[in-house]
Structure 1
Amino acid sequence: MTRTVSRNSTTQRDVTRIAAVHATDSACGAPRITAELNDGAGEQERVNHKRVARVMRAHHIAGIRLRRRVRTTVPDPDGQLVPDLLERDFTAHAPNTKYVGDITYLPCGAGQFLYLATVIDCYSRRLVGWSIADHMRTDLVADALRAAARERGSLAGAIFHSDHGGQYVAKDYTALCERLGVTRSMGAVGTSADNAMAESFNASLKRETLAGSHGWPDATTARRVVFAWITRYNTRRRHSYCDYLSPITYENTHYAATLATAA
């Protein structure tokens, strides 16, 4: 009897904790809820993702997903072959040496979409350059790279990794990379894991801004919300990869340590 009461008590405690995480972010499924519950938890409080999934099913707690997936990667069969220089190594020894980028869609009601192109630093996970437009032409990714170059002052010597989307193999984009001194890198066609870091950024942005809804009411709202989130992401949002510092704080820590070593 005591064992049954204890088991029921543990289950109810898990239900309460899982429901609390789900209430703050209804897009979360079992893996992300498990990670949240185990973050900073003691040995006796840690839970297995299979148990979380069972509890969620039993109590009808489900993560919300966007219903429609929009294809943003359209390979160009005539595009130049570019080697994969990262080989899924999304680390860097210093800022402004390795970047990843991608295009993701932003649903804006009535079946309309905006598109966000990103340039993300592998060292700090900082979004250094980005561009939003109502099209996926080459200008979209070129504007994001130019924004990164303005922010850094120079991208000379840096690697930029992307998928094989037609925008990234276009002649104009290739020429821009050459002018900026950027070396291109690309993963295999149709293999999202080769650009997992950029994909993860996209997922975080949508999960935290859409909060379970299927889109913003209009393009103006989408731009405003995404801009606010990006500002918070770079300056205040704690990132697990950055020892739970914000990306910009993490970079500043690197620069401070470098100066101290040189002094």
Structure 2
Amino acid sequence: MEKYKTKYTVKLICKALKFPRSIYYKALVSVPSKRQLEADKFKAEIKKIWTDSKARYGAPKIHMVLISQGKSISLKRVQRYMIDMGLRSIVIKKFRYHSERITTEQKKNILSRDFNTAGINQKWCTDITYIHTVREGWTYLASVMDLHSKKIIGYAYDTSMTAELAMPAVKNACLNVKVTEGIILHSDLGTQYTSRIF
């Protein structure tokens, strides 16, 4: 009975306002529910956190951020919303060091953990850092640092980690030094630094 009363009321309203009942029902259907409004709000917040992290954050980290903001949402719900929006974190594989099984020649540790200096160009240290890029994959940065100024005074960058990468870094460090004799160059005795060419 109530159903028929409602239909009759809708009919009278539409007649009074002079528009078809189909428009009324269409508008009624398109009104988002409370759950839909809540979902849309969470999706907007998730996308903002994901964008602010430069697409680095996945569902677990985004979930942690939302919880820290006092939001009540489950990890599974965050995952579901991210799938709906097509959001994925940028996954970078951890660098795996491959041993070349070459016995390195042991050198005397002249520095002997004494990093103190009285001036520049007395003690340098050199090493190779791994940098992941989207286009090239793993790339390598060889650098030389002056232990007195703590400044990088020479570097070289390449896609392979060889002595040919380590050498230009040291050569670049020597460009602005008149006398290199007496400077201690400390390294981790990797194969690049114990090779004959280096």
Q: TM-score if structure 2 supplies the norm length?
A: 0.50
Q: Report the more deviating stretch, 122-131 or 72-81.
A: 72-81
Q: What are the residue-to-residue correspondences of 1:5-154 with 2, within 5 Å?
A: 59=68, 67-71=92-96, 74=99, 77-110=102-135, 112-154=137-179
In structure 2, the residue matched to 1:216 is none
What is the distance in 1 between the residues matched to 2:111 and 2:96? 24
Structure 1 position 98, deviation (Å): 0.3
RMSD: 3.5
The 1:165/1:127 distance shift into structure 2, 3 A limit, reads same
2:147 partner amino acid: C
Q: Which runs of no fewer than 5 residues in structure 1 stay unpaired?
A: 1-22, 28-55, 61-65, 174-263
SS for the counterpart of 1:144 is: helix
Q: Distance in 2 between matches of 1:70 and 1:167?
A: 18
Q: Give the Å deviation of 1:125.
A: 0.4
| Shift of residue 152, structure 1, vs aligned partner | 1.7
Q: Structure 2: how far apart are the matches of 1:75 and 1:91?
A: 34
Contact 1:91-1:123 at 8 Å conserved across structures: yes
Check the 8 A contact 2:92/2:132 in 1, yes or no.
no
What is the alpha-carbon distance in structure 1 between the residues aligned to residue 176 and residue 99 of structure 2?
A: 29
How many residue pairs were aligned?
120
CA–CA separation in structure 1 for the residues paired with 2:125 and 2:100? 17
| Structure with larger Rg | 2
* Partner amino acid, structure 1, of 2:68: H
Residue identity matched to 1:150? L
**What code does the residue aligned with 1:98 have?**
K
Deviations 1:96-115 (A, max 9, x none): 01011110112111561221
- Can you list the C-alpha shifts for 1:16-75, whole angstroms capped at 9, x where unaligned? xxxxxxx9xxx9xxxxxxxxxxxxxxxxxxxxxxxxxxxx9x838xxxxx9533256857
Task: Give the 4+ runs in structure 1 shifted more than 6 A.
Answer: none
Please give the alpha-carbon distance, in whole angstroms, between the structure 2 residues aligned to 1:127 and 1:73: 27
Aligned partner of residue 164 in structure 2, secondary structure = helix
**Structure ranking higher in helix proportion:** 1
Q: CA deviation at 1:81?
A: 0.9
- Deviation, 1:89, is 2.7
In 2: Cα distance, 1:71 partner to 1:153 partner: 39
C-alpha offsets along residues 218-260 of structure 1, whole Å, 9 cap, x if unaligned? Answer: xxxxxxxxxxxxxxxxxxxxxxxxxxxxxxxxxxxxxxxxxxx
Find the partner of 1:161 among 186, 189, 194. Answer: 186
- Normalising by structure 1, what TM-score? 0.39
Change (3 A) 1:110 1:158: same
Residues in 2 aligned to 1:91 and 1:80: alpha-carbon distance in whole angstroms = 26
